[in-house]
Amino acid sequence: MQCLVVRGLVKEVEEDINKFLSSHEVNVLHMAQSEHGEYVTITLLYAQLVPLDG
- Identify whether 22 is part of a domain: yes
Look at residue 53 and tell me if it is in a domain. no
List, for the chain, all residue ranges whose pLDDT scores fall below the cut of 70.
52-54
What pLDDT is recorded for position 17? 97
Report phi then psi at 19, rounded to 5: -65, -45
User: Residue 50's pLDDT is what?
Assistant: 80
Question: Which distant-in-sequence residues (6+ apart) come within 8 Å of 46 by Cβ?
Answer: 1, 2, 3, 4, 26, 27, 28, 29
- Provide the pLDDT for residue 52: 66
How many domains does the structure of the chain reveal? 1
Tell me, yes or no, whether 54 lies in a domain: no
Domain hosting 7: range is 2-48
User: Considering the domain boundaries, does residue 15 fall inside one?
Assistant: yes
pTM, two decimal places:
0.81
